[in-house]
Structure 1
Amino acid sequence: MHEFALRVYYEDTDLAGIVYYANYLRFIERARTEWVRDQGVDQTRLKEDEGLVFAVRRVEADYIAPARFDDELIVRTKVEQMTGARIVLSQDVKRGADLLFSAQVTLVALTRDGQPTRLPANIRRIVH
């Protein structure tokens, strides 16, 4: 499991002072980027050398409780399933012990032309 810490800034909130719902997707995107980097995958090099990028195919999200300005949050990312063509992740946003947001995210690999492709074996080996 990978953990990514972040703080809620004023720009992340709506008029009610709570995190705007779409910003949770930004938070989990940042966490996925850091998770991939921590796995030793250089996404820029992957695109340049192999013409491969990751794309979100599906997101199922549950908004459980609000986060507010200046909250310190942790995004936890865990691989739930991996096949030759996709990676399914669970991503939770927590404030301390409180679960605020939970998502299941399906990632796929695309070629330079935007066509689906299998995940390279080396990526399947190192991403866990």
Structure 2
Amino acid sequence: MSHSFSLRVYYEDTDLGGIVYYANYLRFIERARSEWVRSLGIDQRRMKEEHGTVFAVRRLAADYLSPAHYDDMLTVNTALVNATGARLTLEQIVRRDRTDLFTAQVTLAAIGPDGRAARLPAELRRLLG
């Protein structure tokens, strides 16, 4: 189960040298994760309102492989690696053409209204199962 999200690097994403500032890759993959969930038909706002459940990043391991530059067109590929009752593990790769620039393995935890771990809503578990 994978998803592709495209974006352009804007001036605001770069440092003085026109290279993407390292922390902005985290913003890029966050947007891609949100679009991945949306592509599954899950409305995260409704999930919070109806179940009190939100996602939080529990763990992230990242590798910066090659820089992206101002005006580059990038693609973020998101793939499900593993799903448990309360966690999702995703692999995300930021590419320019066929060159991998940044890779991350992200573990998301479902969090309930009390701030503690919660089971993923049944609808989402069905979609992932």
Normalised by the length of structure 2, the TM-score is 0.96
Report the counterpart of residue 85 of structure 1 in structure 2.
Answer: 86
- Counting aligned pairs with the same residue, the percent is 62
1:55 alignment partner AA: A
Structure 2 CA distance, aligned partners of 1:58 and 1:26? 15
CA RMSD of the aligned region, Å? 0.9
Report the counterpart of residue 70 of structure 2 in structure 1.
Answer: 69
- Secondary structure (helix, strand or coil) at the match of 2:124 reads helix
Report the counterpart of residue 116 of structure 1 in structure 2.
Answer: 117
Contact 1:6 1:73 survives alignment (8 Å): yes
Partner deviation per Cα, 1:49-73 (whole Å, 9 max, x = no partner) = 1111011101000000000000000
Shift of residue 113, structure 1, vs aligned partner: 2.1
Structure 1 CA distance, aligned partners of 2:59 and 2:119? 17
Q: Deviation above 2 Å: which 4+ runs of structure 1?
A: none
1:99 alignment partner AA: D
Report the counterpart of residue 42 of structure 1 in structure 2.
Answer: 43
Q: How many residues align?
A: 128
Confirm whether residue 58 of structure 1 aligns to residue 89 of structure 2: no
Normalised by the length of structure 1, the TM-score is 0.97
Partner deviation per Cα, 1:3-51 (whole Å, 9 max, x = no partner) = 0000000000011210000000000000000000000000000101111
Show structure 1 runs of 5+ residues with no match: none
